[in-house]
Structure 1
Amino acid sequence: MDLQILESDKPDDAYMPIWAPLLAFNQETVGNAQGKPYALTITAPGSDEVLGGLWALSLWGSFYIGLVVTPKGRRGSGLGSELLRRAEAEAIARGCRQMWLDTYAFQARPFYEGLGFELFGQLDGPAPMFPRYFMKKELS
């Protein structure tokens, strides 16, 4: 069978058709490859507008934190620490062995280190975006 490679003009629409065969392979190979998402949202009382929050995914005993955002005027108030505390409690409840995330040089590495995360990988590149840090926290 001849094959061709095309550039999609709708990359978001292409994600699921590309993901489906990889998910099927993972399921066949190791089983239970469906991650379980988790989210916390920050809103003002009486409003549905999302001002920030945390999004994560547990899979195979690991808890990946993909997004952490607090409202600009509330950074440093403990709100981010509370998001991570709740995420850690959920990760433990799900039986995860570790949490992990990535952050850029201009973002929040010291914040995560203060919460017990340790560096396990780094990608270098041009400032001010890089380095990009990969961090993990072992759970008990």
Structure 2
Amino acid sequence: MNYRLTESPSPQEKDEIFRELLRYNLAHLENKDARDLAIFLEDESGNKTAGLIGDTHGNWLEVEYLWVSEKMRGRKIGTELVQKAESFAMERGCKYVFLNTFGFQAPRFYEKLGYVEKFVLKEYPVSGTRHYYTKSLVK
């Protein structure tokens, strides 16, 4: 056997490792029903001006990406996207939300929406911060 270090793994190599880890994880998770969730705001031409990407798994919604174009910021669109995702997740039986954001992105935005900071990764990637949040959807 040989260890091989590469700075440019192929998409197939990344996918192979991901598939094997997923196979292992699914054998040990009590809920295997992970489902994608995406909400887009599109203009009249079908161009995306904002969007949220995440997935639901058991009791949890994980928000992976939230983006609002520069020209659409300040109109509460980010708030609406998060609220729509939370509502949809509750319809799927989710009780909680998990997400993370860089310090230069939106920590205060999420806190205004009721998210509770659980952890801050400092000096990430060099001098910044990455913030990890959760929120209970159960009233």
Q: Shorter-chain-normalised TM-score: which range? A: 0.7 to 0.9
Equivalent in the alignment of 1:113:
111
Q: In 1, distance between residues paired with 2:124 and 2:131?
A: 14
TM-score, with length taken from structure 2? 0.88
Q: In 1, distance between residues paired with 2:126 and 2:4?
A: 34
Identity percentage of aligned residues: 25
**Distance apart, 1:63 and its partner CA:** 0.6
Mapping of residues 1-140 of structure 1, within 5 Å: 2-7=1-6, 9-33=8-32, 35-45=34-44, 47-125=45-123, 130-140=128-138
Question: Match of 1:51, SS?
Answer: strand
Aligned residues: CA RMSD: 2.1
Q: In 1, distance between residues paired with 2:126 and 2:77?
A: 26
Question: Contact (CA 8 Å) 1:98, 1:136: kept in 2 or not?
Answer: yes
Map Cα deviations across residues 55-97 of structure 1 (whole Å, 9 max, x no partner): 0111132111011111112212111111011000011111112
Q: In 2, distance between residues paired with 1:120 and 1:29?
A: 25
- Contiguous gaps of at least 5 residues in structure 2: none
- Contiguous gaps of at least 5 residues in structure 1: none
Counterpart of 2:121 in structure 1: which amino acid? L
Map Cα deviations across residues 75-121 of structure 1 (whole Å, 9 max, x no partner): 12111111011000011111112111111111111111111101001
Count the aligned residue pairs.
138
Report which of the two has the higher share of strand.
2
